[in-house]
Structure 1
Amino acid sequence: MAAVVAALPFGRRYARALTGSQASGDAIVADALRQGLPPLPGSLGLFAAITRLTPTDALDTTPGALSTAGRQLLLLTALEGLSVLDAAQVVGLDPAEAVAVLEAARAALRTITATDVLIIEDEPVIAMDLRMLVESCGHRVTGIAATEAQAVRLAAAHPTGLILADVNLGRGGDGINAVRRILQSVQVPVIFVTAYPERLLTAGEVEPAFIMSKPFDPIALAISTYQAVTAGRVPIA
């Protein structure tokens, strides 16, 4: 039970990333806990219950899109840090089949339609790393904002398909406030990046749908941007 409680914030993150919605993701987690978890060790039962309750129609089924299992395995291994063997148990695949599905999903990520990305990050080195990673995923960076005010100006000046925002901008303000201000005039999916993702998953207030941990993993960034663009909704009220 203690392992499930400790894993709950990350289970909520996984469910939200699958569905593209805070409300839908949290509802699936609640259903999983009510219905009971599969007999898997540690936190794997929670992830497995979430996986099995996620409706297929919540995922993109257009030609060329990632398969349902591909998305699930990428999120479990890249975003949540599970081994391939553990992720295979969660999804209900043979390990060899899971490896093949993962390889196909990673290859498919390279062919995804590009979008325009606004980066909100106050640390220059991290911002440059993010820019390189975003561009390596095939996307275009429309601008890098170091402050809340600059982010609002850049969003107004350049059409944006995705926002990648740090939560803490130091003296430059707050990334969540910057996003709230931007969303008053445009509707765009957002990924929040933070070294402490569990602090945004406390169930204490309206929270973002997409959260990625620092330091950044290229595959985690690729699948997170894909999910945000294809399944994303307005991330905060």
Structure 2
Amino acid sequence: MNTAADETTFSDRITAEMVYLRRYSRALTGSQKRGDAYTVATLQALLKDRTPFDNDHPAKVNLFKCFHAIWTSSDQRPDGEEGGLRARAQGLLSNLTSNSREALLLRTVEDFSHEHVGVIMGIDVDQVKALIATANAELADAFKGRVMIIEDEPIIAADLSSMVSSLGHTVTGIARTRQQAVDLGKSEPADLILADIQLADNSSGIDAVNDLMEMMDVPVIFITAFPERLLTGEKSEPAFLISKPFSELQVKSAVSQAMFFASTETLRG
């Protein structure tokens, strides 16, 4: 019989990793609503059966493995009628190698080792590496667009610009403040926004993005050292988050994923 202490410990282990599962699920689906639906289904499954945690793997690995089992057993189609942009999204997804985006996100954005990605997905390490290589190739080759960068640190901004350009995308410009971002958005429309949270004049990258969303309806990748502050579940949240400090692989993966959805449908929840 589980004691109260056991219940608390299990709950704490799950809660500590939930923000990362929510980040992954929405990056995978391109939607806050759909991503959270899969997260809730995972929690409901764990309430009925905790045996997936009866091993020596870290709690985060077991949690993501439970999610992956639910994800792969579903039809993974967008909600509602399959028409217009949603139909195009499903069509493009069907042309990508099965499980390739999952492997890429788990390795680069969530920073799991190849071994742990294998555990989560139920495949061996060589298969994991092959899927990641395939995802990088398919996403990079298929989708090109215009990217706005909102970042006040010149070196970081230059690095981000280089990473985005190396994927074949065009950087519309770099804004260091909220007002510069708005002005840039008016003169150079973008397909994707890459935004830091804290800007040069102490203005907010979040406020800058909110202003821009009145002019355009595009995916946004936020860069933050505190992802839990944006993934509260209390209001509309970003589908894509990069945690500081970030790696080149994380940025490229997030940009490729977001640009994929930018080519099919907006990420409005």
| TM-score normalised over the length of structure 1 | 0.90
Instruction: Tell me the distance in 2 between the aligned counterparts of 1:75 and 1:120.
Output: 23
Is 1:195 matched with 2:225? yes
The 8 Å contact of residues 117 and 161 in structure 1, kept in 2 or not, is answered as yes
1:156-215: CA deviation from partner (whole Å, max 9, x where unpaired):
111211000111114241111111111112111111111222221222433211111122
Is 1:137 matched with 2:167? yes
Structure ID, larger Rg:
2
1:121-174: CA deviation from partner (whole Å, max 9, x where unpaired):
111111111111111121110010001011011111112110001111142411
Determine what percentage of the aligned residue pairs are the same residue. Answer: 38
Instruction: Tell me the distance in 1 between the aligned counterparts of 2:68 and 2:187.
Output: 40
Q: Number of paired residues?
A: 237
Instruction: Tell me the distance in 2 between the aligned counterparts of 1:154 and 1:65.
Output: 35
Structure 2 unaligned residues grouped into runs of 5+: 1-9, 79-88
Is 1:56 matched with 2:76? yes
Instruction: Tell me the distance in 1 between the aligned counterparts of 2:51 and 2:103.
Output: 18
The 8 Å contact of residues 108 and 249 in structure 2, kept in 1 or not, is answered as yes
Instruction: Tell me the distance in 1 between the aligned counterparts of 2:133 and 2:240.
Output: 23
Secondary structure at the aligned position of 2:173 is classed as: strand
The 8 Å contact of residues 162 and 189 in structure 1, kept in 2 or not, is answered as yes
Structure 1 residue 32: Cα displacement: 0.6
Is 1:159 matched with 2:189? yes
**From 118, 130, 140, the counterpart of 2:148:** 118
Mark the CA change 1:65 to 1:157 in structure 2 (over 3 Å): closer, same or farther: farther
Structure 1 unaligned residues grouped into runs of 5+: none
Secondary structure at the aligned position of 1:39 is classed as: helix
Secondary structure at the aligned position of 1:30 is classed as: helix
Is 1:227 matched with 2:247? no
Instruction: Tell me the distance in 1 between the aligned counterparts of 2:268 and 2:93.
Output: 30
Secondary structure at the aligned position of 1:57 is classed as: coil
Mark the CA change 1:236 to 1:149 in structure 2 (over 3 Å): closer, same or farther: farther
Query: What value does the CA root-mean-square deviation take over the aligned residues?
Result: 2.3
Could you tell which deviates more after superposition, 116-125 or 224-233? 224-233
**From 19, 35, 50, the counterpart of 1:9:** 19
**From 225, 243, 250, the counterpart of 1:213:** 243
